[in-house]
Chains A and B, each alone.
Chain A
Amino acid sequence: MSTAVITAENLSKRYQRGMAASGLLRDTLALAVKAPHKLFRREQKESFWALKDVSLAVQHGEVLGLIGRNGSGKTTLLKILSRITRPTAGWAEIHGHVGSLLEVGTGFHPELTGRENAYLSGAILGMGKQEITRKFDEIVAFAELEKFIDTPVKHYSSGMYVRLAFAVAAHLEPEILLIDEVLAVGDIRFQKKCLGKMGEVARVGRTVILVTHQLNQIRRLCERVVWLDAGEVRQTGPAADVVSAYETHMSSGFAAADSKVSNSRAEFLRWWAFDEEGNRTHNLHSDEGIRFQFLLRVNKPVLGLYHDIYLYDQDRQLLWGNAIGDVTLEPGLYLCDHSLPFLPLRPGVYTLRATLWDGGEIVADWEGAPGLRLSTLPVAHPRYEKSGQLNIPSKCVIIPEGDSPSPPG
């Protein structure tokens, strides 16, 4: 059965910049004295569209991801759907109770105890008193705060605070849940617990819209993704496709846009990645050959330098590095070409860094972030949290002892 529980047609939201934001009567009065005609001319105020003609339909039980760079309108869209703010134009219709989690710890007050805050925050998020009482023990157990529940939260550590806040939020049971980036809280172990809880939420047939910058979360939790760009829908479709397209878009670019250090002697200008067939792409397959090229401009002759390349994952963990020494070049343009037979990494976004060293001194250092995206069928453990970092196509058979398996080819 497919029933759209959220329907939005041409939602648009305009914000006014400048004068309106100052919020002081003084300024309005000053304007009234200086230029009274301006007060009544609305279009004179500088305004911008945070959201423009966004239409979408979300089916019952669907987990929809919203992605896009900062300021692309994701939060504005959530705020409109949760009725925090009104659209300037367009409409939306929502069937069911909406719970919105736009921050962790909404309504918490430091003077109140954990117990009191759980009730207060639960009520603000839309739970009834009886409902909170019924789930209270479960909430406290989830937050692992049994001993401190009657302590004022101002004495909590930030970890305890976040755990309690999320525990309350995780026990919301609206038909529709709007979540903005709140999963990125707490320590890793607690994050996993939250993700597990979210997965449960999705399985019981609740409709969820999820905004996050952590694209792996989107891949894991969402079936369909909407990519917002400058307030407009750029692409809608299955999670894998849209997230890939988004990553490719985000990683294509010139050196100037990324973090770059160089002195006047030499400078990295651009980089490219090629797949096995030699097509230029940012979207690579981990089990195929890969080639990276960096365009280097040498301004003054360099003598006996080192050229390094590093590969980092999203958490800035160094995965791999290589270097060549004795680089001696006359002024001009050069290509630093690196080829790899395969790159057995899990699907995700990785960053490349290229450097040129002169003893202890960096001559040129450039990091393209986010660098490139690897896409491939995950061939590792079916459970994400057990599949690790590498994506090695392995085989496994179970045979009677004595029959030796054929050696790996």
Chain B
Amino acid sequence: MSSVTSNATAVAPLTERAVTYPVVRIEPARGWFNLRLKELWDYRELLYFFVWRDVKIRYKQTAIGVLWVVIQPLLTMLVANLFFHKLAKIPSPGLPYTVFCFAALVPWMYFSTSLLNATNIVVENQRVITKVFFPRLILPFSAVMSGLVDFAVAFIVLLIFTLSYGIRPTVSVLLLPLFLLLAVLTALGVGLWLSALNALYRDVRYLLPFIIQFWTLASPVYYSSSMVPERYRWLYGLNPMAGVIDGFRWALTGAGHPPSAVLMASTAMVCFIVFGGLLFFNRMEVSIADRV
């Protein structure tokens, strides 16, 4: 079933360092059901290097470096506060609107940047892809992981900001990593689909800004998901970022209710997207080096 199998079969020792050599069998691609996560694990050091490279280059190319990560959500929050809260009177139950909005923007911006990077990463690395073998899965994984550095910086600012409003985190803060993981998986899952599609059809690159724009509006970044009628909430939860943002905000500030229906739907959806994305990406990977 698996098309490239590597297993440590003992071959007669060929040099004085009697070691066993891995045997690799190269065959035409067939079959869909191979997640190839073991290969990814074997190449974890390369994954680390790709993440390291992304982070290094990002901060070398910008003049104010890490400040961007903070300025972006801060400015967006201020503008949203003016238009959505002061003018459009959108409520922010249980929280000052600035905190409400900022707490959503930090995970959201992590998600949108990671999705953008993941979508383009295969095409951007086409030179390497056509010259060296490594599990191509590393690329979208590294894209969503390198975004975590930015996220960490923004999160510290968010934490200080929240505390300065006198909001003290409760035990629920322990669940934060869980919601972050959900955000990572969402970016990864969608990124897997889009990066493979982008390698085949460059149109995806132009489509992506629209997708992200619509997605922002369909997520509770600037408004509360409690504004969505109760009976449609599970449907709303099919947007995994709805569960992520609701949960993130709740875990950090303790405001609102612990997300339930929305979160369940979101989690199920994420699993579905990631699993499908892995299969799709691996299937497409076969022809990526021939097509990019």
User: Which residues of chain B from 1 to 47 have any CB-CB distance to chain A below 8 Å in the complex?
Assistant: 3-4, 11-12, 14-15, 21-29, 45-46
- Please indicate the chain A residues that have their CB under 8 angstroms from the CB of B201 in the complex: 23-25, 28
Partner-binding segment picked from A35-43, A102-110, A269-277 = A102-110
Q: How far is the CB of B199 from chain A (nearest CB, A)?
A: 8
Provide the A63-101 mask, 1 if CB < 8 A to any CB of B, else 0: 000000000000000011111111111111111111010
Q: Looking at the complex, which one of B11, B56, B133, B286 makes contact with A95 (CB distance below 8 Å)?
A: B11
Q: Tell me whether A311 is interfacial, beta carbon within 8 Å.
A: no
- Do A107 and B132 have beta carbons less than 8 Å apart? yes
Residues of A within 8 A of B24 (CB): 83, 93-94, 98
| Number of residues from B at the complex interface, CB < 8 A | 42
Interface size of A in residues (CB-CB distance below 8 Å): 52
Interface stretch (choices A116-124, A208-216, A339-347, A350-358): A116-124
Given A23-B200, A24-B202: A100 in contact with B26 (beta carbons within 8 A): no
Contacts of A81 in B (CB 8 A): 26
B89 CB–A CB distance under 8 Å: no
Q: Which of B61, B129, B203 contacts A84 (CB 8 A)?
A: B129
Contacting residues, chain B, for A406 (C-beta < 8 A): none
Asked if residues B45 and A23 are in contact (CB atoms below 8 Å), the reply is no
Whether A106 pairs with B133 at a CB distance below 8 angstroms is no
Contact check, B128 vs A83: say whether CB atoms are below 8 A apart: no
Which of A86, A95, A123 contacts B28 (CB under 8 A)?
A86
B53 A120 Cβ-Cβ under 8 A: yes
B70 within 8 A of A: no
Pick the most buried of B14, B57, B291: most chain A CB atoms within 10 A of its CB: B14
A-B contact count (CB 8 A): 126
Most chain B CB within 10 A, of A60, A112, A124, is at A124
Q: How far is the CA of A239 from the CA of B61 in the complex (A)?
A: 50
Docked Cα-Cα span, A60 to B15, in Å, equals 10
A94 to B25, CA, bound (A): 6
Whether A188 is near chain B, meaning CB under 8 Å from some CB there, is: no
Q: Are B130 and A109 in contact (CB under 8 A)?
A: no
Query: In this assembly, does B83 line the interface, its C-beta being within 8 Å of a C-beta of chain A?
Result: no
B285 closest partner in A (C-beta): A86
Q: Is A128 located at the chain interface by the 8 A CB criterion?
A: yes
Contact with B along A364-378 (1 / 0, CB 8 A): 000000000000000
CB of B161, distance to nearest CB on chain A (Å): 32
B134 interface neighbour in A15, A79, A124, A128, Cβ under 8 Å: A124
Q: Which residues of A contact B291 (CB under 8 A)?
A: 20-21, 23
In the complex, are the beta carbons of B23 and A95 less than 8 A apart?
yes
- Asked whether, in the complex, the Cβ of B203 is within 8 Å of the Cβ of A25, the reply is yes
- Judged by a CB distance under 8 angstroms, whether B60 is at the interface is yes
Q: Which residues in B have their C-beta under 8 angstroms from that of A94? A: 23-26
Closest A residue, CB atoms, query B58: A111
> Residues of A contacting B27 with CB < 8 Å?
86-87, 91
Q: How many angstroms from the CA of A61 to the CA of B15 in the assembled complex? A: 10
- Any B CB within 8 A of the CB of A328: no
The answer to whether A84 and B132 have CB atoms under 8 Å apart is yes
B residues near A112, Cβ cutoff 8 Å: 53, 56-57, 60
C-alpha spacing A119/B48, complex, angstroms? 12
Q: Does B289 contact A (CB under 8 A)?
A: yes
Cβ of A395 under 8 Å from chain B: no
B134 touching A86, Cβ below 8 Å: no
Q: Can you report 28 residue pairs joining A to B where beta carbons are below 8 Å apart?
A: A3-B14, A15-B290, A23-B291, A25-B203, A60-B14, A79-B130, A84-B131, A84-B133, A85-B289, A86-B3, A86-B27, A86-B28, A86-B286, A91-B25, A92-B25, A94-B23, A98-B133, A102-B130, A109-B57, A111-B56, A111-B61, A112-B53, A119-B49, A125-B132, A126-B132, A128-B45, A129-B49, A205-B14
* Nearest 4 interchain pairs by C-beta: A83-B133, A25-B201, A25-B203, A123-B49
